[in-house]
């Protein structure tokens, strides 16, 4: 690694001094380690202890464990290194009752650019920032990056000093001679800054996040997993990520997302810290320290299905994002848009996905919501069509919603965590029967705790039976769209135009 990284302080000096030969040895050690762990499990060992040291995994896929159960991996004093193209860093797939502890995760090639604001030209609507050689090189290496996400911090980098979801496209970030980049200021950003008591000044620090999709610790279709003392120092995607319609019930204790100590890093993750979707049982997050993510610190949810046609008195055609699956017998709750009032409940007696309809499903959902509600839904994969038979006659119209509480992380417990310095929200729940207790939540730009669906992502269902008690919230909702430190609402408009309604998210205390 070249000396300019050491000069800009984004890695400790002993790490910045690694040579290409050092990294090759770490790659070889990583390859051996993966085989050793698999062999230990195949022999019937109950635990494998990773020797202290550094292990490197280049490329899109890092290290993968599949169909493993009743096994422990002690990674105390071990660090896994990944490169910027990584999508799935540590991937557990279809595993059960596996414990991973003590591991540190970092990246060689940070998922963000950071520098210092040098000038703001309000007339030309340009912000000029200066970056170290390392980050200018990263800017050119990430030529496929479609957009950046901007965060502005105090001159000492200790906290965010202005919050706006400012996302310039790559063509709007232009080299301006030497180590400077000129960033176009959008009209809404300029209007916002004109009204701020403290708009950005020269000397402020700036971060341009470069988000990718995937997970650094990816828990895919698993159940009863245990993660303890896992530290993530850099993530271009979700730092901790649960997917795959798993049984869930996974525990995360004393896990961290943090800016690496002894460096000058201004960010830790370019996306969410903890993201859980479509799990039957919710996770336990206990005594974790999550900070410096450029999106939500915690988001737990399932998805809404969208009714497209009523095929008979008890059969409907729906489209569903991310391939959301139903179990036969699952109870569906049906809601009326745009406010989300609950209409009735019915159980699915048959569930028939129609292969090859992903593009058609996405197209029909987006067209329907654009025409009826002027909502521009985000793109998502696997929005296929499904025929669903129900156990009762139903009276439904196109754009009505359905959701199952069997796949939204129900019963999640968030206890005793420290969540701080978040660019978006602290805890975002769209689930049922969850508890949020004894957490300290500080310096969150939007809501410290928010219970609401998000129809522009089709993330749901409506949160219900959530208990919030004995939490301490400080400095939350400092962004101008923050609204409240704790927000309970329903609506389907993209922020900052969320719609307040009289709909009740029941039994919230």
Q: Give the tens place of pLDDT for each residue, 264-300.
A: 999 999 999 999 999 999 999 999 999 999 999 999 9
Q: Cis link prior to 338 (omega < 30° from 0)?
A: yes
Q: Is the pLDDT of residue 489 over 80?
A: no
CA–CA gap between residue 291 and residue 473 (Å, rounded)? 14
Q: In Å, what is the CA distance from 152 to each residue of 148, 334, 399?
A: 13, 42, 39
Q: For residues 125 and 193, is the Cβ–Cβ distance under 8 A?
A: no
Nearest CA to 145 out of 169, 174, 181, 114 is that of: 169
Most confident of 157-171, 193-207, 263-277, 356-370: 263-277
Residue pair 184/171 in contact by the 8 Å Cβ criterion? no
- pLDDT of 490 reads 62
What residues does 107 pair with on adjacent strands? 82
Both tokens of residue 40? 């230990």
Residue 196: pLDDT band with limits 50, 70, 90: confident
Name the pLDDT band for 373 (thresholds 50, 70, 90): confident
Cβ(401)–Cβ(335) under 8 Å? yes
Nearest CA to 327 among 406, 385, 400, 248? 406
Residues linked to residue 121 through DSSP beta bridges, in sequence order: 126
Distance CA 454, CA 300 (A): 12
Q: What is the DSSP letter of 384?
A: -
Q: Is the pLDDT of residue 193 over 70?
A: yes
Cis peptide before 496 (omega within 30 of 0): yes
pLDDT at 6 over 60: no
Question: How large a percentage of the chain has pLDDT more than 70?
Answer: 94
DSSP symbols for 311-322: EETTEEEEE-GG
HSE (side-chain half, CA atoms, 13 Å) at 311? 13
What would you measure as the largest C-alpha separation in the chain, in angstroms?
70
How high does pLDDT run on average in the chain? Answer: 90
pLDDT one-digit tens code per residue, 402-432: 999 999 999 999 999 999 999 999 999 999 9
* pLDDT at residue 492 in the model: 46
**CA-wise closest residue to 277 among 252, 239, 256, 303:** 303
Per-residue pLDDT of 212-238, as tens digits, reads 989 999 999 999 999 999 999 999 999
∠ CA(206), CA(207), CA(209), 5° rounding?
Answer: 160
Percent of the chain with pLDDT over 90: 74
Structure tokens that stand for 280 in this block: 């039957």
Using a cut of 0.75, tell me whether the model's pTM lies above it.
yes
Q: In the prediction, which pLDDT does 122 show?
A: 87
Q: pLDDT, tens digit, for every residue of 432-476?
A: 999 999 999 999 999 999 998 887 788 999 999 999 999 999 999
In terms of pLDDT, which residue wins out, 396 or 496? Answer: 396
pLDDT for the residue 501: 36
Q: All domains of the chain, ordered by start, with CATH?
A: 3-109+212-295 (no CATH), 112-209 (2.40.30), 304-404 (2.40.30)
Of the candidates 48, 30, 28, 52, the one whose C-alpha atom is nearest the C-alpha of residue 39 is 48
pLDDT score of 413: 98
Task: Tell whether the model's pLDDT for residue 384 goes beyond 70.
Answer: yes
**465: region left, alpha or beta (phi > 0 left; psi from -120 to 50 alpha):** left
**Closest Cα to residue 303, out of 288, 284, 318, 285?**
318
What is the predicted pLDDT for the residue at 83? 93
- 37-41, 70-74, 321-325, 392-396: segment of lowest average pLDDT: 321-325
pLDDT at 498: 45
Of 113-117, 209-213, 297-301, 324-328, which range is least confident? 324-328
pLDDT at 509 over 80: no
Pairing of strands 459-460, 298-303: antiparallel
- Indicate the pLDDT class of residue 488, thresholds 50, 70 and 90: confident
């Amino acid at each position: 690694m070249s000396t300019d990284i050491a000069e800009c302080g984004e890695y400790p000096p002993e790490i910045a001094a690694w040579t290409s030969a050092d990294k090759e040895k770490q790659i070889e050690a990583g390859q051996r380690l993966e085989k050793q762990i698999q062999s230990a499990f195949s022999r019937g060992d109950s635990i494998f202890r990773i020797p202290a040291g550094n292990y490197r995994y280049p490329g899109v896929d890092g290290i993968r464990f599949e169909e493993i159960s009743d096994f422990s991996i002690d990674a105390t004093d071990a660090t896994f290194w990944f490169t910027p193209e990584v999508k799935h860093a540590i991937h557990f797939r279809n595993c059960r009752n596996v414990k991973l502890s003590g591991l540190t995760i970092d990246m060689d090639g940070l998922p963000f650019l950071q520098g210092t604001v040098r000038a703001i030209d309000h007339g030309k609507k340009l912000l000029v920032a200066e970056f170290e050689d390392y980050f200018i090189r990263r800017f050119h290496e990430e030529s496929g990056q479609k957009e950046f996400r901007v965060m502005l911090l105090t001159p000492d980098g200790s906290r965010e000093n202005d919050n706006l979801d400012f996302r310039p496209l790559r063509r709007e970030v232009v080299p301006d001679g030497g180590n400077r980049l000129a960033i176009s200021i959008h009209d809404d950003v300029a209007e916002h800054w004109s009204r701020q008591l403290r708009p950005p000044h020269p000397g402020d620090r700036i971060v341009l996040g470069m988000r990718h999709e995937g997970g650094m610790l990816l828990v895919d279709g698993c159940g009863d997993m245990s993660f303890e003392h896992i530290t993530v120092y850099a993530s271009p995607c979700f730092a901790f990520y649960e997917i795959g319609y798993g049984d869930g019930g996974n525990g995360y204790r004393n896990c961290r997302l943090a800016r690496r100590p002894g460096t000058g890093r201004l960010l830790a993750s370019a996306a969410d810290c903890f993201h859980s979707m479509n799990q039957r049982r919710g996770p336990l997050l206990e005594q974790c320290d999550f900070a410096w993510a450029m999106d939500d610190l915690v988001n737990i949810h399932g998805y809404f299905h969208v009714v497209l046609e009523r095929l008979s008195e008890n059969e409907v055609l729906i489209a569903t994002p991310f391939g959301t699956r139903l179990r036969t017998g699952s109870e569906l709750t049906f809601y009326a848009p745009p406010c989300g009032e609950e209409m009735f409940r019915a159980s699915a007696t048959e569930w028939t996905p129609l292969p090859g309809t992903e593009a058609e499903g996405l197209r029909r959902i987006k067209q329907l919501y654009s025409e009826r509600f002027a909502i521009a839904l985000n793109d998502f994969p696997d929005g296929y069509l499904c025929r669903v038979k129900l156990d009762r006659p139903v009276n439904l119209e196109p754009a009505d919603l359905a959701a199952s509480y069997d796949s939204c992380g129900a019963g999640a417990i968030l206890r005793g965590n420290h969540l701080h310095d978040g660019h978006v929200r602290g805890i975002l729940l769209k689930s049922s029967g969850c508890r949020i207790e004894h957490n300290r939540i500080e310096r969150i730009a939007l809501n410290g705790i928010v219970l609401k669906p998000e129809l522009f992502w089709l993330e749901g269902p409506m949160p219900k039976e959530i208990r919030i008690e004995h939490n301490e919230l400080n400095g939350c909702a400092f962004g101008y769209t923050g609204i409240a430190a704790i927000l309970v609402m329903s609506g389907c408009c993209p922020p900052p135009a969320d719609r307040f309604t009289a709909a009740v998210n029941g039994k919230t205390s």
